[in-house]
Structure 1
Amino acid sequence: MTRLSSALIGAALSAVLCAVATAQSDRPEVGVSPWGPDDETGRLNLMTPASQAAILGQISGAAPYDLSVEYFIGMPSWQAAGDPHYRIWMTHTPHGTGVDDPLGVGHVMNDHVSYTGAAVSMYTHTGTHIDALVHFGLNGEVWNGFTAEEHLGDRGWRVGGAEALPPIVARGVLIDLPAFLEVDQLADGHRISRGELVGALTAQNVTLADGDVVLIRTGRMQVYEDAQAYMQNPPGLGMEAARFLIEEAGAMVVGADNLSFEAFPSEDPANYVPVHTYLLAQQGAPILELVFLEALARDQVYEFAFIGAGLRLRGADAAPMRPLAFPLR
């Protein structure tokens, strides 16, 4: 091998190593919380006693809107990813209890007092739920630099689990994209842009503010009873729109009526869920999915008091939630 060829190979190798190092240094990293090294809740710190009192003081007293879905066998779920679907089964029935007498109270008592009981099993991201900040991470870390190696045990996350998320009391805003785009629902795979969010907000005469819970209607909930149609290549948020909601509009929590929240295929060849990692791992913004928004859209209720709390599932990456939207005066 000549000196020239050796020099060329060396130069080429150096260029490759430099490119690899540059690519690695350019990789997005998890966010470091401005609320301190122990912070597990991210942008939920934007809630304050004053902000909660302000929105609660505007409630009109009208009946709230239930923003949750019903759970039933055959409902939409992530079975394609290998996750368990929703199941409910009876553990006690009036006739069976009468036959088995499991509590030893006697057949006369069982004939008089009927006993019904049930158990459920499901993936934590089933039905209306909130994603905890540990749900997705980058480079072996989740929000605020917590790592699976140090903070994940056999019983779940020791930090940042669903139990760490406080009840949410905040101003809620609905962005109704089908109404703005004059369609029944967004098309399969539609990637929501910044311009569409801005246009819909302008049409609704609504301005976002720091600390809002922003809920985006795609119209997908209209086919919720048909799991295959609901899960088939749903519309979702694009990165440009996600950055707008957090960096420009100051949203605290974001959510939608679909199950993936973001659109697929990914815009980033190096990340199959860039919106999730941006929101959860980099910005500390929890995500709500499968939020029922049809009644709010029907009544054109675009601003409301959002009140909701997930189940305190210790160490879990998500939790079922039953959020409510209270109309304002």
Structure 2
Amino acid sequence: MSDKPTDAPHPPPTGSGGGRPTLSRQEFDDLFAAVRTWGRWRPADRGAWNRVTEDHVRRAAALVRSGVVVPMALPWNTEPGPDNRRPALHYMSDLGDVEAPEPATHKDFIAVDYHGKSVSHLDALSHIAYRGQLYDGRAAREVVDAGGARFGAVSALGPLVTRGVLLDLPAALGVKWLEPGQAVHADDVIAVERALDVTIGDGDAVLLRSGHFRRRRELGAWDPDAASAGFHVDAMPLLAERGIALLGGDGDSDVRPSPVDGVHSPVHALAIAAMGVPLLDNLDLEALSAACAELGRSAFLLVVAPLKVPGGTGSPVNPVAVL
């Protein structure tokens, strides 16, 4: 399985737009049933992370050749904006100015409502319910309450070490970024694999770069709930067939507006609630894109270590790629 670009030309992906809904609710329900993996693994609340074995970890570790380390978290964002409606908090709780024995200490406090568009975070399996059910058919009302989640909590996941694959759509298309609302279809995924000579496989973590944060830095912020590039639902059967363990990107993986009538985040529903695949949202993939281009590869060792929050529906996180 190669991860180096070839010299042979390949047809470029189309990166066609999302636009109006293209799937009915019934068609979506049929798709949900087709990719569902309920009852496949134990413990069930680790979902597709159960795919990753010691062999997967060893194969991923063998990808480390240059020693380049690339973190992917966004800076802690305390500034309000169209894509940061609930800014994070950061203030000093100790400035070392209280008379006390040496040494003086400096302490700070941080807090965040991280499920949004401005914090790099992991969605655990308790984050999404579809038609009242979490992954594995658990009734959301029975296992999630004001005290947190008793099934599918982020504390059940633990760290993930596996092979990461960067689907760099702008690099494959020869553009700076995908425009908000631009959808990535199954055919686009296959075309990018051919263009970058990389094949998504069992236990892989797939990261989609749309160029979101390059666009934001050059043109300014916008409301990604209204329009953002991401996967069309027709890409999910392909990713399910490949046996991925994790899905993420520089957006939240969903193309917006949604292509499914009455479902605002269909990729979330399919990945988390049907397939048991946690999601990584709001990653800064610009440095990883540059490193992959310089080294001529699109696969790497990926390390994801969420906070161990009992009952938590996810966690802020700083995924790290090692090439």
Give me the TM-score of the superposition, normalised by structure 1: 0.80
Which residue matches 2:55? 50
Between the aligned partners of 2:269 and 2:105, the Cα distance in structure 1 is: 46
Conserved? CA contact 1:174–1:302, under 8 Å: yes
Between the aligned partners of 2:169 and 2:80, the Cα distance in structure 1 is: 24
1:287-317, Cα deviation, whole Å (9 max, x unpaired) = 1111221122113241101111111111111
Between the aligned partners of 2:169 and 2:27, the Cα distance in structure 1 is: 36
1:65-84, Cα deviation, whole Å (9 max, x unpaired) = 1122211312778655xxx3
Quick one: which of 131, 136, 140 aligns to 2:128? 136
Between the aligned partners of 2:27 and 2:214, the Cα distance in structure 1 is: 43
- The 3 A distance-change label for structure 1 pair 173 and 77 is farther
Between the aligned partners of 1:213 and 1:26, the Cα distance in structure 2 is: 25
Return the offset for 1:161: 0.6
What SS does structure 1 have at the residue aligned with 2:268? helix
Higher-RCO chain (CA-CA 8 Å, sequence separation at least 6): 2
Between the aligned partners of 1:224 and 1:144, the Cα distance in structure 2 is: 37
Which residue matches 2:235? 241
- The 3 A distance-change label for structure 1 pair 93 and 76 is same
Return the offset for 1:120: 1.2
What SS does structure 2 have at the residue aligned with 1:229? coil
Which residue matches 1:161? 153
Return the offset for 1:28: 4.7
What SS does structure 2 have at the residue aligned with 1:41? helix
Return the offset for 1:250: 2.1
2:197 is equivalent to residue 191 of structure 1: no
Which residue matches 1:114? 104
1:196-225, Cα deviation, whole Å (9 max, x unpaired) = 211111111111111110111000122456
What is the identity, as a one-letter code, of the residue corresponding to 2:299? Answer: E
What is the identity, as a one-letter code, of the residue corresponding to 1:35? Answer: W
Conserved? CA contact 1:75–1:224, under 8 Å: no
Conserved? CA contact 1:215–1:255, under 8 Å: yes
Conserved? CA contact 1:42–1:283, under 8 Å: yes
Quick one: which of 70, 79, 85 aligns to 2:75? 70
Quick one: which of 231, 240, 244 aligns to 1:251? 244
Between the aligned partners of 2:39 and 2:163, the Cα distance in structure 1 is: 23
> Looking at CA atoms only, which structure, 1 or 2, has the larger radius of gyration?
1
Give me the TM-score of the superposition, normalised by structure 2: 0.81
Quick one: which of 92, 95, 104 aligns to 1:93? 95
- The 3 A distance-change label for structure 1 pair 206 and 133 is same
Between the aligned partners of 1:140 and 1:133, the Cα distance in structure 2 is: 13
Between the aligned partners of 1:184 and 1:33, the Cα distance in structure 2 is: 42
Quick one: which of 244, 250, 275 aligns to 1:283? 275
Which residue matches 1:4? none
What SS does structure 2 have at the residue aligned with 1:197? helix
Which residue matches 2:114? 124
What is the identity, as a one-letter code, of the residue corresponding to 1:218? Answer: S
Conserved? CA contact 2:126–2:144, under 8 Å: no
Between Structure 1 and Structure 2, the one with more helix by share is 1
Between the aligned partners of 2:306 and 2:271, the Cα distance in structure 1 is: 18
Which residue matches 1:34? 40
- The 3 A distance-change label for structure 1 pair 33 and 227 is farther
Between the aligned partners of 1:194 and 1:321, the Cα distance in structure 2 is: 28
Conserved? CA contact 1:78–1:85, under 8 Å: no
Task: Note the residue ranges of structure 2 that are not aligned, 5 or more in a row.
Answer: 1-25
Return the offset for 1:262: 0.5
What SS does structure 2 have at the residue aligned with 1:40? helix
- The 3 A distance-change label for structure 1 pair 64 and 155 is same
Between the aligned partners of 1:25 and 1:266, the Cα distance in structure 2 is: 15
What is the identity, as a one-letter code, of the residue corresponding to 1:253? Answer: L
Conserved? CA contact 1:41–1:165, under 8 Å: yes
Return the offset for 1:136: 1.0
Between the aligned partners of 1:215 and 1:267, the Cα distance in structure 2 is: 21
Which residue matches 2:305? 309
Aligned residues: 288
- The 3 A distance-change label for structure 1 pair 172 and 243 is same
Task: Note the residue ranges of structure 1 that are not aligned, 5 or more in a row.
Answer: 1-21
What SS does structure 2 have at the residue aligned with 1:187? coil
Conserved? CA contact 1:223–1:230, under 8 Å: no
What is the identity, as a one-letter code, of the residue corresponding to 1:250? Answer: G
What is the identity, as a one-letter code, of the residue corresponding to 1:192? Answer: V
- The 3 A distance-change label for structure 1 pair 155 and 208 is same
What SS does structure 2 have at the residue aligned with 1:263? coil
